[in-house]
Structure 1
Amino acid sequence: MTKMTDLYPDGAGYHQAHDPYIAAVAKAVAAVGYPVDDWSAEPNDPRDGYIGLNVDLLSETSTKAIWTNEEVNLAWTEDRGWALVTVTESHRSDGRFVYDLPVARVASPSTMAFALAEQVGDDVTVQPDNHPDLDFDHSFEDDDVPFELALRHYAEKP
């Protein structure tokens, strides 16, 4: 039986284990036509990350109201899963809105591309990938080998 100490014998790598996963989702989102400005996998506790979409490019070609926001991001945290986050500053509100996406905690990149399109009301064709949608009742405070293995699934094989 695999233990956390088997996966991270000296503790190294734990805080970067989600990097390849966030990168794979960013690549899938870009492949269906959502230009990615940048992405980041943060080594926080709980681990999190985001994919920033280029709203300037999208607002030129789309009539969707979502692209008039100053920022549109996909955000992931290991304790919460995926959300769409929009930011528009105004005198009426702080302008930050979070829309939880109804996907697995470690949803496949193609599932995430489809979830984004569905949330913003776009009709896009998403090619399925060879990654499973894996859901977990996970807390970063607990050793969770299956969750770690799901993240490691996206790491490049030697």
Structure 2
Amino acid sequence: MDRRPGPRHQPRPRQGRDGRQHPPGRLQAQPLPPLTRRRAITFHSAHTAYLCAVAEALTRAGISVTEWSAEPDDPRTGLITLDPVPAYGEDDLGLVWDEERGWTLVWGTDDSGRHTHFAALSDGPLPTPDELTTAVQEAFRVRLPGDTVTGGAYRYQDDQDDGFEGRLTSYTR
């Protein structure tokens, strides 16, 4: 075997997850996973923690939540999709929330995928997760008529002095 001195192996820089070149042999601090980073709460994200708390309360009560989302619409909205229950047959079930009208149970879809039946579940725009869970459990015991949505709003998204924002953001703490 030839043991002549020759060019020494030079490690090459590596490209990190952040796309930058990092010198060889140095440990790089990894960023925290996205779920543990503290994000600023904006007007259009303030309802996310509330919807998460509702989804968790429903799950704790044995109601099967398929998925949930908080949408940055004006007014702010959210959707929680549920597994079918006997009172509603095989119809798709969901809970729709908006900051003006509160919670509505929706079920059944037409050919375009739009829900065909609606029933109001809350007496205000922001019931506690436990209050909403109780309303959903009651709706699952007795099928609601599919036309009980009121046309009016409990509040408007532009209302600034009704205490809504403080109650909504209390779920982020």
* TM-score, scaled to structure 1: 0.69
Superimposed CA distance per residue, residues 2-24 of structure 1 (whole angstroms, 9 cap, x where no aligned partner): xxxxxxxxxx6000000000100
**What does residue 66 of structure 1 align with?**
88
CA RMSD of superposed structures (Å): 2.3
Structure number with higher relative contact order (C-alpha < 8 Å, ≥ 6 residues apart)? 1
Uncovered stretches (5+) of structure 2, i.e. residues with no partner: 1-40, 143-152
Q: Which runs of 4+ in 1 moved over 4 A?
A: none
**Distance in 2 between the 1:109 and 1:22 partners?**
8
Equivalent of residue 108 in structure 1, options 128, 152, 156: 128
Residue 43 in 1 paired to residue 65 in 2?
no
Change (3 A) 1:41 1:34: same
| Contact 2:124-2:154 within 8 A present in 1 as well | no
Change (3 A) 1:44 1:153: same
Superimposed CA distance per residue, residues 20-64 of structure 1 (whole angstroms, 9 cap, x where no aligned partner): 001000000111111111101100000010111122xx5xxxxx2
**Distance in 1 between the 2:124 and 2:159 partners?**
19
**What does residue 89 of structure 1 align with?**
110
Equivalent of residue 163 in structure 2, options 121, 124, 146: 146
Deviation of 1:137 after TM superposition, in Å, equals 4.1
| Contact 1:82-1:101 within 8 A present in 2 as well | yes
Change (3 A) 1:72 1:138: same
Change (3 A) 1:67 1:112: farther
Query: For residue 164 of structure 2, what is the amino acid of its counterpart?
Result: F
Uncovered stretches (5+) of structure 1, i.e. residues with no partner: 1-11, 59-63, 123-135
Change (3 A) 1:104 1:137: closer
Identity among equivalent positions (%) equals 34
* TM-score, scaled to structure 2: 0.63
Q: Which has the higher helix share?
A: 1
**Distance in 2 between the 1:95 and 1:27 partners?**
24
Deviation of 1:95 after TM superposition, in Å, equals 5.5
Query: For residue 158 of structure 2, what is the amino acid of its counterpart?
Result: E
Aligned length: 122
Change (3 A) 1:155 1:144: same
For the residue of structure 2 that corresponds to 1:149, the secondary structure is helix
